[in-house]
Amino acid sequence: MFSPLPPVNLPTMYDLPSEDPEESGLPDEFHGLQPRLLTETCLLLGQEPYFTAADLNFYYDLENTNWYKRPDWFLVMGVAASRSQAELRWSYVLWQEGVSPFLVVELLSPGTEAEDLGQTLRVLGRPPTKWQVYEQVLAVPNYVIYDRTNNHFRLFQLRSGRYQEMSLGAEGVWLPELAVGLRVWQGTYQGVDGQWLRWVDQQGQWIPTEAERAEQEFQRAEQESQRAEQESQRAERLAAQLRALGIEAE
């Protein structure tokens, strides 16, 4: 059993990175929960096939087939999601799929912030930076960055081949191509209270999570049951009134 050490100036979780800087992975719990919420609430009804993924290796260079980036979350339009376990992707390979993402979301963490924001330069002999790949190689039209530590939600859109930061208000961003919007939601997800990126519909309503959809179905079933019970009781009262008048209800 672990015995606590005497109180000294030991490093905290902020001093001890949970990943190898050369091999980015899931650096904290938030990076597991937030992408899951984005996927659950990304219901593009009536849209063409689409595919979403989180922390999946994205291979993009046919001449350097071992080069990849690993977006925290991304959305590709026109590519179908897997329908069987055997079809589940090991990675996203651009030269196989043929379609770049429509939207990429990166969640800032201390170890990746500079590269996520395009503040790092490419090292000679090394792959291009994340920003360069999204902007210049894949030409991703919508690049979202979210910093949970200060609730900073930023959107960069491609303009003449370069990313331009868009002005966002409390309503977040509306994506007319998808007929959905993305904004910050204050609430509890998977038992964790906080501020999260979440999709909204054309009426500005939060698109429900799986748990919320299940609760809505339960409430609808309860209401239907109550209506059926009320109808049955009304029919019984009517039949009793008819019998009192000497009329036998059919």
Give me the residue spans of the domains in the chain.
30-207, 208-250
**Structure-block tokens of residue 55:** 């922390």
Range name among 87-101, 147-161, 224-238 with the lowest pLDDT average: 224-238
Helix (H) or strand (E) holding 30: helix 30-40
pLDDT at 48: 87
pLDDT at 174: 95
Percent of the chain with pLDDT over 90: 59
Residue 194 banded pLDDT, cuts 50, 70, 90: very high
pLDDT at 19: 52
**Structure-block tokens of residue 217:** 């179905």
Mean pLDDT rounded to a whole number for the chain: 86
**Under DSSP, is residue 58 helix (H, G, I), strand (E, B) or coil?**
strand
| Mean pLDDT for the stretch of residues 49-54 | 96
* Sheet of strand 58-59: strand arrangement: 68-69, 58-59, 92-93
pLDDT score of 162 more than 70:
yes
Cross-strand partners of 92: 58
The pTM for the full model equals: 0.81
Residue type, 126: R
Please determine, looking at this structure, whether the domain spanning 30-207 carries the CATH number 3.30.200: no
Any residues with CB less than 8 A from the CB of 7 and at least 6 apart, and which? none
